[in-house]
Structure formats: C-alpha cells, structure tokens
Amino acid sequence: MNKKAELTTQQLVTLIILIVSFVVILFLLFRLNLGKETESELCHNSVIMRGSAVVLEDAVPLDCSRKYICITKDGSCKSMTKPEIKKVKTDSDVYKVLADEMANCWWMFGEGKIDYVGKTLFRNNYCSICSQISFDDNLTKIPAFSLGQLNQNLFYNYLVNENYTEGETYSEYLFGTKDLNEFKKQLKLNQSQEINFGTIDFSKQYFVVMGIVNEPQEVWKWGSGSVGATIGLKGLAVGLIKLGVLSSNPIGWIAGAVIVGGTTAVGVFSQLSYPEILAINVEGDGINNQFMAPTIIEAESDKFEALNCQEIITTA
C-alpha cells in the first residue's frame, strides 16, 4: 500500500512539473511573439521565391502584410485596436523600435538584392508598407519628446552611430553609408540652404515604407520632374525634386533622394526654405533595379502621395 501511495505521489509531482513547464513555455512563446516573426519570414520567403521564379512572376504571389505597432511608455495604446505593443522608457528606445522596423522591412524585401516585381510594359514605382506606427501620447513624458514630436535628424544620427549587426550600423545596412551629413551637403543647391529629415508628429500615424522600380534600364527616380525643378504632383502643393544617378558620388550605393519643400514650397524652387528629405534612393546590389530605402512618412499624407507609388504590394 505504501509503495502504491508513493507511486501516486510521484505521478502527481510529475504532472505538476509538466503543467508548470507547459505554462512557462507558453509564456515564453507569447513574449517572443513568434507569430509576427513568422509573418516576416513568410514575406521574405515569398520575395525570394518570386525573385527566382523561372516562370511568370505572377505565378508566385507575394505574401506580405502590414504590421500595426503602437509605441508607448506605459503599455497603453488609445489610437489603435489590438496593435503590437512596443514599450519604451527613453528616446533611444523609441529610436531603436523605429530603426528595427526599417531594418526588418529592408530584410523582408531582399535588402536591395532581389527583383521581386519583374518587367512590365510600363515603368512603375512599387511600394511596400511594412508597418503602420502609432505614438501614444504618454511618450511626451520622455524629456526629448515633451513637445509631442520626434526630430528625425537626431533619429538619423542614431542610425549612423548605432550598430544593427556587429561591425555594421543601421545606416550602412539601409543606405550603404555612414556619412549622411556629406550626403545632405551634396543635395544642397547653395551653401545657405538647410536640408533636413523633418519631424514626426506623435498625434499622427506613420508608415514604414520602401519601394522598387521595375524598369532599371532608364534613369528613373521616385517622383517626377528634372533636377532643379519642382512640379505639382497630382494637384498637391508640394515641391518635388528628382535627382539623377550620382555616378561619381564617393558615397557609393546612394543614388539620390526624394525631397519636398517646407510650408513655403509651392511650385517655385527658390521658395524652398527648408527642404526635407523624404526618402533615400539606393542602387540595387547585384541587380539593376533602383530602390527607395525604408523610410518613415506620415500615413495617407501629401508627403506620402509625393512618393508617387503607382502600386502598393503589401496587404493591409
């Protein structure tokens, strides 16, 4: 009888251990958020398959969807329904969330090494919205964001100085350079001109978006127009510059940028008081396509329209 009772106790202890272990494993799986990672991998794998397809590209559909993210200090989020919560404590934490979203977007779509759209009769700009980001109002409790906005010049300094992987900064991974200040100098039309990356307004939502041009034989940049000119794009009061390929540019991979003017930019270049870099264009790595590197831009805004995306190839 004692042996039987002892066996029963051992079984109960084993069962309790199994249950606790199962709960711990479920907790770890939840914390690791493997479901979202799987979505990124599904997109990445579909991009690779489409890029290497020997048949028509349409036979291999892209499986890429938009993520919804809320950056918050206290874990709450009032502006999105069931987003992926990114809890932060400092301005550097916020920068890292944004930098990681840009890097993940670049990785998902092949890091500029894969032509995943192929050739069509007409030249098109294909955009991918990787993330839609909301900034909770409690972020104003972080001293650097007390005004409810983020200075993207400081954020791009973070990209230049912080490593994405060992020996490679975020800016090197995304844009192929650490010298963004030199890049901004080359975009100036005169010495007195100030070129910046703009600000992020926490009261609005933003996209992490990148893109690819499907016709690499011609010099084609995001947007339209010629160097030194501005145009009204789709009826918008936004100044837009197209820069040609900087073949002699010592920076290397960078090929140009999409720029809009400040509040005074209404079709006349001389009125561009504070030109803002919306996106950086890069050459493909081993392929002829040109890419718009991942950028953060206000959702459904005039500036987003200025990117001139003919087609969005991610699902909402």
Output the tens digit of pLDDT for each of the chain's 316 residues: 445 555 577 777 777 777 766 655 554 444 444 445 578 888 998 898 888 765 545 567 888 999 999 999 988 888 788 889 999 999 999 999 999 999 999 999 999 999 988 776 666 788 999 999 999 999 999 999 999 999 999 999 999 999 999 889 999 999 988 888 888 877 776 777 778 899 999 999 999 999 998 764 444 445 543 332 222 222 222 223 333 322 233 233 355 777 766 433 323 333 345 678 888 888 888 888 889 999 999 999 988 988 888 888 888 7
pLDDT at 281: 87
Q: Quick count: other Cβ atoms within 10 Å of Cβ 202? A: 22
In-domain check, residue 37:
no
In a domain, 53, yes or no: no
Residue 22 has a pLDDT of 65
**Between 34-51 and 91-108, two packed helices, what is the crossing angle to 10 degrees?**
40
For the chain, the domain total comes to: 1
DSSP state of 268: -
- Answer yes or no: is 215 within a domain: yes
Whether residue 283 lies inside any domain: the answer is: yes
pLDDT for position 270? 34
Instruction: Confirm whether 29 is domain-assigned.
Output: no
Q: Strands 84-87, 67-72: parallel, antiparallel or unpaired by DSSP?
A: parallel
Rounded CA-CA distance 270/272 in Å is 6
What pLDDT was estimated at residue 125?
85
Supply the DSSP symbol for 182.
H
Q: Label the pairing between strands 149-151 and 199-201.
A: antiparallel
Beta strands per DSSP E along the chain: 67-72, 84-87, 125-135, 149-151, 163-165, 168-169, 199-201, 206-213, 240-242, 254-260, 276-283, 290-298, 311-312
Phi, psi for 186 (deg, rounded to 5): -70, -20
**Position 24 in a domain:** no
Task: Supply the range of the domain harboring residue 287.
Answer: 64-312
Determine, yes or no, domain membership for 59.
Answer: no
Task: Say if residues 284 and 216 touch (Cβ distance below 8 Å).
Answer: yes
113 vs 121: CA distance, rounded Å: 22
pLDDT of 20 reads 65
**Quick check: 253 and 176 in contact, CB under 8 A?**
yes
pLDDT at position 23, please? Answer: 59
Q: Identify the CA nearest to 197 among candidates 275, 281, 102.
A: 275
Facing residues of 165 across strands?
A: 168
Angstrom distance (rounded) from CA 305 to CA 1: 80
Total length of the chain = 316
> What's at 46, amino acid-wise?
S
Instruction: Tell me whether residue 43 is in a domain.
Output: no
Can you give the pLDDT at residue 140?
93
Q: Are 170 and 159 in contact (CB under 8 A)?
A: yes
Q: Indicate the pTM of the whole model.
A: 0.74
Listed in sequence order, the DSSP H helices in the chain are 2-32, 34-51, 91-108, 152-161, 170-175, 180-187, 302-306
Tell me, what's the pLDDT at 31? 47
